[in-house]
């Protein structure tokens, strides 16, 4: 079997809402997710897994309780498990996320942004 190529631009063109990640692939118990984000997300952490962020377009800021990091397209930041953080995008930002399969998008901190089940596109 020959695997399909995942075209992130096509996947991102399929939706317009913010803060609602979609699953575009999986490997070794992890999910490849894409999302469009704008504004500030809720503070949260993931108790048993790291989380990776990579902007595809736009600028992304990840706030931590003791500082922040700014990411441009193509840059990657891995937030270690248990570290409280909050993604922020002043303008719309398209982002690739890597999370453990089934990991809630808000980790251990349910909020209005929590998605009970992520759509696979």
- How far is Cα 70 from Cα 117, in angstroms, rounded to an integer? 29
**pLDDT band of 104, cuts 50, 70, 90:** confident
- How far is Cα 60 from Cα 108, in angstroms, rounded to an integer? 22
CB 99 within 8 A of CB 47: no
Task: Provide the pLDDT for residue 7.
Answer: 97
- How far is Cα 91 from Cα 25, in angstroms, rounded to an integer? 26
Instruction: Please write the tens of the pLDDT for every residue from 110-119.
Output: 888 889 899 9
* Residue 118: HSE in the Cβ half-sphere, 13 Å Cα cutoff: 26
Instruction: Please write the tens of the pLDDT for every residue from 88-100.
Output: 999 999 999 999 9
Task: Provide the pLDDT for residue 116.
Answer: 83
Complete domains list, the chain, with CATH: 8-120 (2.60.120.10)
Which pTM value belongs to this model?
0.93
The DSSP H or E segment spanning 27 is strand 22-27
- How far is Cα 49 from Cα 93, in angstroms, rounded to an integer? 24
């Amino acid at each position: 079997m020959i695997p399909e190529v995942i075209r992130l631009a096509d996947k991102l063109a399929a939706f317009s809402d913010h803060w609602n990640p979609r699953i575009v692939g999986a490997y070794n118990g992890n999910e490849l997710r894409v999302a469009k984000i704008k504004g500030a997300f809720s503070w949260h952490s993931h108790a048993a897994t790291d989380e990776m962020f990579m902007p595809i377009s736009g600028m992304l800021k990840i706030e931590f309780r003791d500082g922040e990091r700014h990411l441009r397209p193509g840059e990657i930041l891995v937030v270690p498990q248990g570290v409280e953080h909050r993604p922020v995008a002043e303008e719309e930002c398209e982002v690739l996320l890597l999370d453990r399969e089934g990991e809630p998008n808000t980790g251990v901190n349910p909020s209005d942004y929590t998605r009970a089940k992520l759509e696979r596109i």
